[in-house]
Chains A and B, each alone.
Chain A
Amino acid sequence: MQIIEKTRILFYTFIFLVVAIGVSCSGQKLGDSNSSGTSGTIRVAGTGSTFVKPMMDKWGSEFGKLNPTINIDYSSTGSGAGIKGIQNQTVDFGGTDAAMSDDELKQAAGGEIVHIPVVLGAVVLTYNLAELKEPLKLTPELISDIYLGKIRKWDDERIKKENPNAALPANDITPVFRADGSGTSDIFTDYLSKTVPEWKEKVGRTKNPQLPQGIGIGGKGNEGVMGQVKNTPNTIGYVELTFAKANNLPAALIRNKAGNFVEAGSSTVSNAAAGMADKMPDDLRFEITNAEGADSYPISGIVFMLVYRDQKDARKGKALADFLWWAINDGKQYVVDLHYAPIPPKLVEKAGAKIDLLSNGGKSLRKQ
């Protein structure tokens, strides 16, 4: 009898759970539909670039304190997924480290997409050389030759030439690359494609770089690359600036277009964007790799938010436009602490003009 009792209790518990989950799910749906009505909180959902996730979380929570009725919800799924999400209109905005291509823009289901640059980042080359005290100096040619397997030893004459006083060991170099498709690889390969013809021909600009067979080790994500570099002597790898700073990794000085060796940091990355500000096209789809300027860090990148110009839902569109406006203006104060770089004033102006374009029924949402 006791067994039957127990079974019955289990059975009722099960039924209870099923009902409870069902109710809570439908409850959530009710909440969702409310958000586009006239009362309650407004939930604005975005997805995309993993790189900008910590920044979006910080902005979302700070903006939420000022506007308790607006809930900015950003999930990190990768730049590709961010583009896919905005194309299919499964989210209200997408985040990406690389501007959308013309082909990708054509596939957008909701009309014209506006690119809004919000923050800058950079890719640094980190390495595991225990005896090296001062930062390594690298030129684009050296990086390319190392990753193509043409320079195989740390004490190669060409590396020594740029680093005459460095204690370089006579060991094999093991380059580490990103095994997963990533915006980091895109910025890195874009930079090398612009500066080294051989790289452009053999690898090119891509989110999935393939090195010649047997040259390197692949790591999944920034943490994967960092793990390999940190634990394997004589490795070199590329990771995002925020990541390198947060983990106190050494970062090489890179020779920029002006011929100076520059350290990656918030100001040198902002310089890169400022150096390009006059050259950028009207739709703001551009890169800042290999930028002009004596003090510009050359392997820098921009994070864009992707939004439809025509917002179907006025309240949500207004919340989104206000949030983006706030992020590039007031939100700046949180950027440097998280090791990103703020977009320079000229670009803030241009991005602001783009945000003003967001409209519902032909009326600008910002100015309502």
Chain B
Amino acid sequence: MARSGTLGDKVYRTVLLAAAISILLIVAAVLYMMVQNSLPTIQRFGAGFLFASEWNPSQEKFGALPFIYGTVVSSILALILAVPISLGIAIFLVEQAPKSIARPIAFMVELLAAIPSVVYGLWGIFVLAPFIRNYLGPVLQDNLGFLPLFQGRLTGIGMFTGGIILALMITPIITAVVRDVLEAVPNTQREAALALGATKWETTMIVLGNAASGIAGAVVLGLGRAVGETMAVTMVIGNSPQITASLFEPAYTIASVLAANFADATEETYLSALIEMALVLFLVTVIINALAKLMIMSVAGRANAAKHV
């Protein structure tokens, strides 16, 4: 079986290099296409595109702000709801649960990740929206109604429902990654902490501290999915480009407006505006990823520093 000659190695190396370079080319091609095709609106509206809040394609008014707002707020809402739950599940699975319980729960979590987003959307319309309209919404309005966040008409369709659906969709991803990260923390650390008399809680805190950079990475993965999620959000968020303090009001996200309008956009300016919006989404994702990398680096740096003290 001595087939691994120098020629084989060369071919092998070239193939790998080509694979790596193809990623760069794809990113470059996507970026080039988006910039090229959005030039009409970039030149016409400049930075005003990002800060204008009126959106009316038939009158050639294109303001991306309501969509950026909708994307950012729905994603943040999703993170606020999903991160504590995901951490809870992951910690339970790794630190507390016996194997016989952990396996089926872990399996269920992975199953959730495999559900297509349109199914989440349907569930949102048929189950979650009526639940919020009839039960959760009134309770929030009765008790926290003095906050602008919970004022306004309760239709069950809006930012709040969108945020919850997104939270459900990103929970499995965050959980799965955090679980892997926690499992990677060496058992010797737990044993050492317990041996020094730490409680189960204190031990877990030490483990979490060591896994912080990995957890941050998991959160960013979840955020990445939330920002780009389209179908399920379109079905429950109400698709109305507006900026309001109320979470119960309809909103609109960048991904949703692209999905809803791309096929039928024939006018050049309109198409250009939509592509520029895609460019904005792309840049938002890049910024999020960069921030995450910085965060991970700083946490990892601190951890390294701590080791040397």
Contact = CB atoms under 8 A, between A and B. Distances in A.
Interface of A: 1, 4, 77-81, 83-84, 172, 174, 179-182, 204, 206-211, 213-220, 224, 227-228, 231-232, 235
Contact of B57 (A4, A208, A220): A208
B136 to A, nearest CB: 15
Interface stretch (B79-87, B170-178, B255-263, B285-293): B255-263
Of A206, A217, A224, which is in contact with the most chain B CB atoms at under 10 Å from its CB? A217
A179 B58 contact: no
Contacts of A208: 56-58, 261
A214 B249 contact: yes
Contacts of B156: 231-232
Contacts of B129: 231-232
Nearest to A215: B240
A214 B242 contact: yes
A219 B239 contact: yes
B251 to A, nearest CB: 10
16 contacts: A80-B263, A80-B264, A81-B263, A81-B266, A84-B266, A174-B155, A207-B58, A208-B56, A208-B57, A209-B58, A214-B242, A218-B240, A220-B234, A227-B125, A228-B157, A231-B156
A214 B240 contact: yes
Interface in B59-105: 59
Contacts of A207: 58, 264
Nearest to A152: B153
Given A210-B55, A217-B155, A180 B260 contact: yes
A224 B121 CA distance: 11
B235 A224 contact: yes
A1 B1 CA distance: 9
Given A1-B1, A227-B235, A228-B157, A218 B264 contact: no
B261 A218 contact: no
A326 B130 CA distance: 48
A78 B58 contact: no
A156 B126 CA distance: 29
B266 A83 contact: yes
Given A214-B244, A217-B240, A224-B235, A206 B58 contact: yes
Given A81-B266, A182-B264, 7 more contacts: A78-B264, A80-B265, A81-B263, A181-B57, A209-B58, A214-B249, A232-B156
Interface in B102-127: 125-126
Interface in B219-275: 234-235, 238-242, 244, 249-250, 252, 256-257, 259-261, 263-266
A73 to B, nearest CB: 18
B133 interface: yes
A84 B268 CA distance: 12
A93 B240 CA distance: 34
A125 to B, nearest CB: 18
B125 A210 contact: no
B265 A181 contact: yes
Nearest to B264: A181
A215 B130 CA distance: 20
Of A81, A84, A208, which is in contact with the most chain B CB atoms at under 10 Å from its CB? A208
